[in-house]
Amino acid sequence: MPRLNSELRIRHSDFINVDIGSYYACKDGSVLRTLLGSCVSTCLYDPLSGVAGMNHILLSEVADMKRFDANARYGIHAMEILINEMVKLGAIRNRIKAKAFGGSNVLRSLNDNMSPGEKNIKFIVEYLEMERIPLMAKDLGGDKTRVIFFHTDTFEVFVRKTSTSQTKQAISKETTRKTQVVEEKDQAGDIELFE
């Protein structure tokens, strides 16, 4: 289980913030931080090489190929980008282990029987099983947002359930980002393939 620590005190200058749709991989003693609502983050690490990383997945579905870029907001893309960055730093894919967090039921879906958080949880669990990446710890679901701190030197993750103001901040960021994604899809032009 992830370490839960309400007494955790970390100054802003001491961590690297991983925002929605982004990722970070390193081979040093960084502390990676993110605020999660319905999004999920996966903390990946290769215990032998010391390479570790984190992503922040907004959407479980596959990227729109009309507007495909290096953004890691989509589930499978976010996982593959992070794993590839870790391999570049010396990680071996079949040694990578995972810890997963987030997927709260803070956003509701009007058209579907699953909330965005539930879809994200389903994606990450199935992806890790399919890729045979062991899930060593998790804190998924529920109705609270969380801030996570991933220590890349020890592979420990500290989880803090958030206050009402942070919950509102997470919901606002996720709602804004999801609206932007929809607008980008609507404005995307056609892609031409040159052979």
Q: What is the DSSP string of 10-33?
A: --GGGSEE--TT-EEEESS--EEE
Q: 151-165: per-residue pLDDT in tens? A: 999 999 999 887 655
The CATH code of domain 14-187 reads 3.30.1330.200
Lowest mean per-residue pLDDT among 6-10, 23-27, 154-158, 174-178: 6-10
Average pLDDT over residues 106-131: 81
In the chain, the amino acid numbered 117 is G
Which tokens in the block code for residue 77?
């893309």
Task: Among 1-15, 122-136, 163-177, name the most confident range.
Answer: 122-136
pTM of the model: 0.74
* Whether pLDDT at 10 is above 60: no
Q: What whole-number distance in Å separates Cα of residue 63 and Cα of residue 91?
A: 25
